[in-house]
A = this chain, B = another copy of it.
């Protein structure tokens, strides 16, 4: 598989620009004082569908040929990618089918059907087979949530904007689950700010990306993971593992307590809703505060879709 390049990212940015928000970048003087650094957060929680996933899904959908698009798209997802693909398909006016687990949250189901997509419910273990059947029977294009160069290039546009909005960043941090956002970010950063390291923030409970990059061998996804960061449950994808290793990206793991404290800080002090998956970036900055002192840090608040169960835990 060809890895996306900065040209792909720039093309993605031009393609999706009429439909996505150029999300704002926020700061907190209180946090900067705590960290002894300057932290800039890109608010993809304020993005369409409430997450950066809108970028990758739309880039993939708009990149399909007319014939392929007419046959529709399909993906399995119980989270933000499902809503993003449904939203992107509605923009292009093409059929969209999402395979979801039978226990998917009613809110996510409503979001997907609200954009006019069809849902196929099936047990979690059969979701890949269900997708393949729909690809076979309807000729639908599979839009994988992270193992897809067009999706990765789309996710990378968030970091590209951040680099434009905040000159002179010394380091950039994003959450890592399947790795599409982190890999895309590493591509954008390497070519715009070649000396700036890129960090991934990963819940300790699903630390396969951390172990994969530490050992140089992609590790299997954690089985039955328990973390509040429900957007980061999947294992690191193969393409993304290759990109991250090639770019020398490092992953920082964070505890559940640190994730909740970070989400609460953003809510109470910055007055913004971030989902626990997004709060991992702040937790990672805090755990690395000593090595980040004095630096200009860019970070991506990846999404804001949460039921707030963590708030009164």
Closest partner residue, chain B, to A312 (CB atom): B312
Candidates B24, B273, B304; contact of A24 at CB < 8 Å: B24
In the complex, how many residues of chain A place their beta carbon closer than 8 angstroms to a beta carbon of chain B? 16
Closest CB of chain B to A301's CB: distance in Å?
9
**B-chain residues with CB within 8 Å of residue A272 when the two chains form the complex:** 271-273
A46–B26 Cα gap in the complex (Å)? 10
Closest partner residue, chain B, to A29 (CB atom): B48
A271–B50 Cα gap in the complex (Å)? 8
Which residues of chain A from 1 to 42 have any CB-CB distance to chain B below 8 Å in the complex? 24, 26
**B-chain residues with CB within 8 Å of residue A270 when the two chains form the complex:** 46
Closest CB of chain B to A158's CB: distance in Å?
15
21 A-B pairs with CB atoms under 8 Å apart are A24-B24, A26-B46, A45-B271, A46-B270, A46-B271, A50-B271, A267-B273, A267-B308, A268-B273, A271-B272, A271-B273, A271-B274, A271-B304, A272-B272, A272-B273, A273-B273, A308-B308, A308-B311, A308-B312, A311-B311, A312-B312
| Seed contacts A26-B46, A308-B308; 13 additional CB < 8 Å A-B pairs | A24-B24, A45-B271, A46-B270, A267-B273, A267-B308, A271-B272, A271-B274, A271-B304, A272-B273, A273-B273, A308-B311, A311-B311, A312-B312
